[in-house]
Chain A
Amino acid sequence: AQKVTQAQTEISVVEKEDVTLDCVYETRDTTYYLFWYKQPPSGELVFLIRRNSFDEQNEISGRYSWNFQKSTSSFNFTITASQVVDSAVYFCALTNRGGGFKTIFGAGTRLFVKA
């Protein structure tokens, strides 16, 4: 079975604080892909990053960084120096052959960044 768990339902921070969103996944496949999507108040999900299971190199994109650790089945997302515009719901997701390559989403973490 495949599953994505985002244990943090809501997080509230003050602007300029760093914040980490946790994601833990389950899969028996050795080949899989992990994703993060952002859903701003407008409702449309926007793709942020994709990682395949063979690439554990951490990635940084501006204020965003991702930490992929196969040993703990985690793919955590950190926002450095958060801004009000970062307020959104963030979804971690997984695709794998065992799931027919359909995207499986976590429940999402709602992030509030206060000015």
Chain B
Amino acid sequence: DGGITQSPKYLFRKEGQNVTLSCEQNLNHDAMYWYRQDPGQGLRLIYYSQIVNDFQKGDIAEGYSVSREKKESFPLTVTSAQKNPTAFYLCASSIDGSSGANVLTFGAGSRLTVL
């Protein structure tokens, strides 16, 4: 079955450490996205990529970094510069990123807790 796989599902980090969240899709989608979800705030866009080797900042990119070296992979690194990284992180993909009609397909999410 096609879909998006995120790992790990749960992650604990000490302050000052960088962590990388994995996102893999086998849907052959061109566009991929990272969202952050906090209680009562909906989903906020961190980074997105419309094509391999290209990505753009979203609304809350500070303290995060991404890469898109392969079509199926879009890892997110939460750096020590991110002031409040405890959150639920969702990866999504769509057929392409140039049409408003695109439906997002989501992974099951990764919950990051900073100790």
Q: Interface residues, chain A, CB within 8 Å of chain B?
A: 4, 9, 31-33, 35, 37, 42-47, 50, 52, 91, 95-97, 101-103, 105-108
Contacts and interface: CB of A to CB of B under 8 A. Distances in A.
A91 B108 contact: no
A101 B109 contact: no
B40 interface: yes
Given A33-B101, A97-B100, 9 more contacts: A32-B100, A44-B108, A45-B90, A45-B106, A52-B101, A95-B100, A95-B101, A102-B48, A108-B40
Given A47-B103, A50-B103, A107-B40, A101 B97 contact: yes
B106 A44 contact: yes
18 contacts: A4-B42, A9-B40, A32-B100, A37-B106, A43-B88, A45-B92, A46-B106, A50-B101, A91-B43, A95-B102, A96-B100, A101-B99, A101-B102, A103-B33, A103-B45, A103-B104, A105-B42, A108-B42
A47 B97 CA distance: 17
Contact of B100 (A31, A37, A91): A31
A3 B48 CA distance: 19
Contacts of A97: 100
A45 B45 CA distance: 15
Contacts of A95: 100-102
B85 interface: no
B98 interface: yes
Nearest to A10: B40
B63 interface: no
Q: In the complex, which of the residues A31, A37, A45, A46 has the most CB atoms of chain B within 10 Å of its own CB atom?
A: A45
Interface string B42-58: 11110010000000001
